[in-house]
Chains A and B, each alone.
Chain A
């Protein structure tokens, strides 16, 4: 406070000197503020990531020194049936888990967007599972799928007892039996994203469309959906990245089994690394996951930074 009289003069002096050269001296404290977190991330993320890429080109059991094999690991993948299953399952996961959670989340957001009595309760109900960890979700549903559990009881009650099977132990159903709980949790999350997006749409647009005689369906199709472009790209990025990262729920429910029938790239990578200790091959699998995510990440970053400027 006492410096008020002096400061303005000094400030104008600085500004005049700095303006032509277009450089403003940044105080050392600010540099520390930025560089320390950056260094922390460099040590725990950037540097390990680079090592990961390098390890993908090696054959390594974790004990002896890594042996450089070039793209050998990637060539091995072509003839690896488990890799192909995992890739196929990851694609199924992306389409079913991703697609259905977008459809379900968007549908629920449309149904629950208008503030009216009871709507808060419905939103809260759909949202509750998001709070749980995927492991908790997995265990809740494992209890569900047990022989004589609620799933079987429901099937028997409605007269479909013949369909009953060991849902998680049957290679034909394991993957889908894992997708259901993953969806159960994701739909509420996607709904929140869309609710936020819908709230940001200018109500005047609906009014105008209504005046022009657009039906509710037409208003959704021609006003709401185009207005949600931004949210859509966020949702899509979140879904694709989440799908490729998905690990917890599969690991907690089936560990990728039986006979790799529910194996995803992420679970296969983990078991290859830490159970069969083929660290080079596992790194190569991680690079595949990375490459698949990269396209999405780039799309997301380009969007994020277009808005920055």
Chain B
């Protein structure tokens, strides 16, 4: 009876899992099919062909290569900058009795919880005003500004829980606040930084709304909005669009596989706190 139950469980969960990954697998399969095959047999049929030309079209003709480069040019500095700034803010707020520190933390978190829609128009006007409209720098700045509150809040929670004694010991050894930050607190915060790093990488890399608000020219578009443009370029060539989709998903999947533990842990941050 028990064995039957276990067997039933695995059959049911196996089916659910298969159902869950089927759309992904199926799009990967389509991405390797030729246009003639899709046209003749339909998108729902089993593949009758195998080709890499779809990837060549997406990579070269649709210039997804440049879009990927743009994405990385935005994502990497934005992740480093926002985590750097958030970690110093969190350090100051968590380890020193700065006046109004709770109000500051509250304000910063509240800023991140604002719906981005309220910021879209003023920010697009602001970057235009300072002459940075349609630049990757503007996009980096937006991501840093908008992410700071949440990262600071999470890192504050981590740094606050570190024992007082280590900081006092470092003070006795003659270390100033800067030295304590870089030599004591930051190394101890590494797990949280890794989790936030993995998360923020995917968030910023996957962003659509800010990119289409701040960037106009096609050659500066990051990969997520560029992927949407692919639809206009390859109307109903769903095999090429599928290849483009696979390419756009590769970097976040790679980060996920590399930092799986941190990534999942990061998503759960706050859930059990």
Chains A and B bind each other:
yes
A interface residues, Cβ below 8 angstroms from B: 1-4, 7-8, 11, 24, 26-27, 29-31, 33-34, 36-38, 40-41, 43-49, 51-53, 55, 108, 111-112, 118, 121-122, 125-136, 139-144, 146, 148-150, 152-154, 184, 188-189, 192-197, 199-200, 230-231, 234-235, 241, 244-245, 247-248, 251-252, 265-266, 269-270, 273-274, 279, 282-283, 285-287, 289-290, 293, 297, 300-301, 304-305, 307-308
Known interface pairs A140-B23, A274-B213; A40-B85 also in contact (CB < 8 Å): yes
Question: Shortest CB–CB separation between residue B231 and chain A, in angstroms?
Answer: 8
B77 lies within 8 A of chain A by Cβ: no
Question: Shortest CB–CB separation between residue B139 and chain A, in angstroms?
Answer: 11
B119 lies within 8 A of chain A by Cβ: yes
Residues of chain A with a CB closer than 8 A to B238's CB: 143, 146
Chain B 19-42 per-residue mask, 1 if CB under 8 angstroms from chain A, else 0: 011011011001000000000001
B72 lies within 8 A of chain A by Cβ: no
Q: Are A126 and B149 in contact (CB under 8 A)?
A: no
Q: Are B145 and A41 in contact (CB under 8 A)?
A: yes
Max chain B Cβ within 10 angstroms of own Cβ: one of A2, A37, A231, A274: A37
Residues of chain A with a CB closer than 8 A to B227's CB: 135-136, 139
Q: Are B121 and A247 in contact (CB under 8 A)?
A: no
- With A37-B108, A196-B271, A265-B117 given, can you name 9 additional A-B contacts, CB distance below 8 Å? A8-B172, A40-B148, A41-B148, A133-B205, A141-B23, A231-B272, A234-B271, A241-B115, A279-B121
Give the number of residues in B that approach A within 8 Å (Cβ atoms): 100
Q: Are A49 and B178 in contact (CB under 8 A)?
A: no
Question: Shortest CB–CB separation between residue A35 and chain B, in angstroms?
Answer: 9
- Considering only residues 157-179 of chain B, those with a C-beta below 8 Å from chain A are 171-174, 176-178
- Considering only residues 65-109 of chain B, those with a C-beta below 8 Å from chain A are 85-86, 88-89, 91-93, 96-98, 101-102, 104, 106-109
User: Contact check: which of B118, B148, B267 meets A130 at CB < 8 Å?
Assistant: B267
Q: Are B117 and A266 in contact (CB under 8 A)?
A: yes
Main secondary structure of the interface of A (DSSP, over half): helix
A99 to B7, CA, bound (A): 30
Q: Are A37 and B148 in contact (CB under 8 A)?
A: yes
Question: Shortest CB–CB separation between residue A289 and chain B, in angstroms?
Answer: 5
A136 to B247, CA, bound (A): 10
Which 8 pairs between the two chains have the least Cβ-Cβ distance?
A44-B145, A153-B44, A133-B206, A196-B268, A125-B17, A48-B122, A148-B42, A3-B174
User: Contact check: which of B13, B113, B173, B268 meets A4 at CB < 8 Å?
Assistant: B173
Q: Are B121 and A273 in contact (CB under 8 A)?
A: yes
Q: Are B98 and A31 in contact (CB under 8 A)?
A: yes
Question: What are 23 pairs between A and B in contact, CB < 8 Å?
Answer: A7-B174, A30-B98, A34-B98, A36-B88, A36-B89, A38-B108, A45-B114, A48-B119, A51-B125, A135-B228, A149-B42, A192-B267, A193-B268, A195-B268, A248-B209, A252-B208, A270-B120, A270-B209, A286-B121, A289-B118, A300-B113, A304-B109, A307-B273
A4 to B206, CA, bound (A): 50
Q: Are A34 and B268 in contact (CB under 8 A)?
A: no
B116 lies within 8 A of chain A by Cβ: yes
Question: Shortest CB–CB separation between residue B77 and chain A, in angstroms?
Answer: 14
A41 to B202, CA, bound (A): 21
Question: Shortest CB–CB separation between residue B128 and chain A, in angstroms?
Answer: 10
B54 lies within 8 A of chain A by Cβ: no
Q: Are B146 and A45 in contact (CB under 8 A)?
A: yes
Known interface pairs A144-B23, A287-B118, A290-B114; A135-B208 also in contact (CB < 8 Å): yes
Chain B 226-261 per-residue mask, 1 if CB under 8 angstroms from chain A, else 0: 011001000000100110110011001100100000
Question: Shortest CB–CB separation between residue A239 and chain B, in angstroms?
Answer: 13
User: Contact check: which of A44, A127, A194, A230 meets B141 at CB < 8 Å?
Assistant: A44
Question: Shortest CB–CB separation between residue A33 and chain B, in angstroms?
Answer: 4
B62 lies within 8 A of chain A by Cβ: no
Question: Shortest CB–CB separation between residue A58 and chain B, in angstroms?
Answer: 11
Q: Are B268 and A293 in contact (CB under 8 A)?
A: no
Residues of chain B with a CB closer than 8 A to A49's CB: 111, 114, 118-119, 122
